[in-house]
Amino acid sequence: MTQLLNYTFMGSATIPLGTVLRMKEGFVRCKSPDYIVGYINQPNTITMLGNFEDGEAQGSIRPSTMLRIHATLDPIATAPTKSPPDFPRNECREVLSRVQQFSERYLEGTNCSVLWPDIHGVGYLTSRFLTAQNPPKIRAMTLEACAHYVSLIPSKRTWSSLKRLNMSQHLVLTSTQTLDILAGDAAEHAVLLANYFMYLGKKNPAEYNAHVCLVLGCSIPEGNTVWVMRKSSSGDVLLWDATSGCAFSREDDSIPLQKVYCLVSKENIYANLHQETKPHSLDFDLTNPKKWAPLHNTDDQVPLDITTIQEETLTYSPPNHSYARELQDELKETIKSAMREWRRTTTSFRTDTVPKLVSILERLEQAKLGSKDVVVPLEVLSKTRNVSGFALHFAYTNTDDVLRSVKATEIHENRNPHVEFSLGIRVFAYPGGALSVWIFLSTMT
């Protein structure tokens, strides 16, 4: 008797080599699909936001699956030490002297800098990158919608973009420059999201008034990173990973952000004086001098010309819906062809289930935008056969990256002679050229 074993894809984790060099073992957050057939995410008491104002950002908070990783290298290697980049500064001598004392006293050994070089290699206080900036006009104007849009900006800069701008890895783009090339790192994602949040608070203070800061810290597995802190008028704190669009309660033990070095507002910069650096151990009352050390101690020390280097108004090209439809068709045929090549055997795709899959994907996109009344149906695709499957989401960069992610799920490895596949694809176009790609893959046996 032959028994066929089939595996269900539950998620993935990417660990940079630099993280392996710094951390031999620890917990890494597993990125799970937003929808898996036959499974339901059960929120725990930490990630439920019933205590937050109006249940804000519930759509962006979800339970986390953590993987305990133990990694070694042979031969043994250590992370190279990084010397801080040397670049000209566009701040007055008094401010630069204060920054030097501040960094030597509070940020020694963190590889964290409160001076960021712009595209021309000229350093500015991180505060100068913050100002209220208008998000694109999309159907929903919510915290979740802003976070979702920012997460659609690819995190990996293409080589062509880097060469065109003659950039190094240390330079930080303005929001306009980030949107122009539609790419950025953690700092640029965080700046854009923080500026969107400040804009919402300015335009609709009754609903979105909050204190917004950048968080300079260290996360697992990325290493040194920049997040966004949003402290509501009631004192509740959410920490946002702008690259993924996910929000975490500071009480959540599974939060990837493990160390907080300092907070940056548009008026000041605050070094963390707590004994602990994990978010759940911190008191986010920035007026407490025993907990936070400000760069500018008094109003007299704030530079009079601490104006932003950002443009006041951001412009966006309209969404290209026709290209989204073309990409949708292209991805469908490309994935089908690739799966047939990977399997090297008869591979059939059902078409009768596709409308149900696409309907689920459309609901998932609505949930990303913060719709509170979206219910993703646990539809039975077949009452007589075993069904497994999942929905994958991508900020579109190129088709090769999509194919690599689909192949990594190993859904094509199903060797049941009676297996049938279903493929649903939906591409949503957003202003500025951003594309939200959803792929639903399922098997019936």
426: phi then psi, degrees, rounded to nearest 5: -140, 130
262 exposure class (CB count in 10 Å sphere: 0-12, 13-18, 19+): buried
Note the pLDDT of residue 125. Answer: 94
Note the pLDDT of residue 48. Answer: 31
Check whether the bond before 75 is cis (ω within 30° of 0).
yes
Q: Which of the two residues, 201 and 57, has the higher pLDDT score?
A: 201
Taking residues 229-258, report their average pLDDT.
91
Pairing relation of β-strands 420-429 and 349-350? parallel
The DSSP annotation for 343-391 comes to H-S---EESTTHHHHHHHHHHHHHHHTT-TT-------S-SSS-EEEEE
- Give the pLDDT confidence of 366-415 residue by residue, as tens digits: 999 987 766 666 555 666 678 888 999 999 999 999 999 999 998 998 88
Residue 350, Cβ neighbours under 10 Å: how many? 16
Note the pLDDT of residue 153. Answer: 96
Residue 318 has pLDDT above 90, yes or no: yes
Q: Which of the two residues, 19 and 282, has the higher pLDDT score?
A: 282
- Give the pLDDT confidence of 28-48 residue by residue, as tens digits: 777 888 888 876 665 433 333
Q: To the nearest whole percent, how much of the chain has pLDDT over 70?
A: 79
137 exposure class (CB count in 10 Å sphere: 0-12, 13-18, 19+): exposed
Q: How far apart are CA 286 and CA 201, in angstroms?
A: 19
Note the pLDDT of residue 87. Answer: 62
Residue 17 has pLDDT above 80, yes or no: no
Residue 190 has pLDDT above 90, yes or no: yes
Note the pLDDT of residue 13. Answer: 75
Q: Is 316 helix (H, G, I), strand (E, B) or coil?
A: coil
User: Does residue 419 come out as left (phi exceeding 0), alpha (psi in the -120 to 50 range) or beta?
Assistant: beta
Q: Which of 28-32, 141-145, 208-212 has the lowest mean pLDDT?
A: 28-32
- Give the pLDDT confidence of 156-185 residue by residue, as tens digits: 544 344 444 444 457 899 999 999 999 999
Range picked from 19-28, 55-64, 315-324, 378-387 for highest mean pLDDT:
315-324
Residue 68 has pLDDT above 50, yes or no: yes
Residue 46, Cβ neighbours under 10 Å: how many? 17
Residue 262 has pLDDT above 90, yes or no: yes
436's enclosing H/E stretch is strand 435-444
**Rg value, the chain, Cα:** 23
Note the pLDDT of residue 118. Answer: 92
Range picked from 86-90, 118-122, 159-163, 165-169 for highest mean pLDDT:
118-122
Taking residues 108-124, report their average pLDDT.
90
The C-alpha angle 192, 273, 117, rounded to 5 degrees, equals 35
Note the pLDDT of residue 168. Answer: 44
Note the pLDDT of residue 133. Answer: 97
